Amino acid sequence: MTTETPTLPEDTGRDTRVLACTNGSAGSGKSTTAAALAYAAAKKKKLVCVIGLDKQRDISRLLGYDDPDGDEDLATMYDVVDKLVTLSEAVVPAKDSKTKEVIPDLWVVLESKQLETLEFKLAGETARELWLHRIIGALRGRFDLIIFDCPGDVKLATIAAIIASDEVVGCTKSQEKEARGLTELEDKIADVAAAYGHTGMPTGIDWVVVTEGVDHKSQGKVYKDMEDQLREAYGDIVVETVCDDVKVPEAYTAGQPVTLFAPNCRAAKAYTKIGRQMKLYR
């Protein structure tokens, strides 16, 4: 950790990977996953930027900014949409919510409650689904990893993030509602790819992260059966299960990624392993 405010990394032509953490259902662990993977990668000396797209502002809170709308000196993603600042100008260093120190190698583009009006704001834009694709190039080459934290739906913000990404991370719990959200997500990706596949966007889900899973059927046969069905349906792209761990809600309450809050807990170790499985770091 450091108290110095770092400058935005220069464009050195890095081979940047852009991920979209998403699901067609809310409450699937997207922000928890995005924050945990981002911090784990930064600890491995990777330059990481998380871009928040959700009006709930969970990722902003987990990376050190409790109320971005309440600080007029902070630019948000909505300011980028409103063309008050560029995407590069909206990037700020992530912070430890507890100590207020800057987290080395980790950056964030903050969210705003006003993102709920995104579809209305961009209503007059030509090919508005491409709005993120048009601007993400400003950050490619600066970071090793960029992660979009999407809202819990497959509307404009999520569609734009998928088009602008290299890979889609489908986050789900071992429950039917969230699992159905993955199916909805797959269908939407197929529809969008039919129109925008020329951009090089993903054509399906690349990774599936099961959050709040169980170890065995004695902890809940329905949940274990659902996880087994997910692994049967998606095969090798289903990574390490993040088993239910009290440290996850405690980390959320503390406003920290679980990989920072309790690095030795089961969930943190699982997320660290997931990063390796996804080859985000060694």
User: How confident is the chain (282 residues) per 10-residue block, as mean pLDDT?
Assistant: 77 97 88 98 98 97 97 96 97 97 98 97 96 98 98 95 98 88 94 96 97 73 89 96 95 97 98 98 96
CA distance 203 to 188: 10
**What pLDDT sits at residue 25?**
78
Query: Which 8-state DSSP code applies to residue 143?
Result: B
Rounded to 5 degrees, φ, ψ at 34 are: -60, -45
Element (H, E) at 242: strand 242-243
**What pLDDT sits at residue 223?**
84
CA distance 97 to 251: 11
Look up the pTM and report it.
0.96
**What pLDDT sits at residue 178?**
86
**What pLDDT sits at residue 40?**
98
**What pLDDT sits at residue 2?**
55
**What pLDDT sits at residue 177?**
83
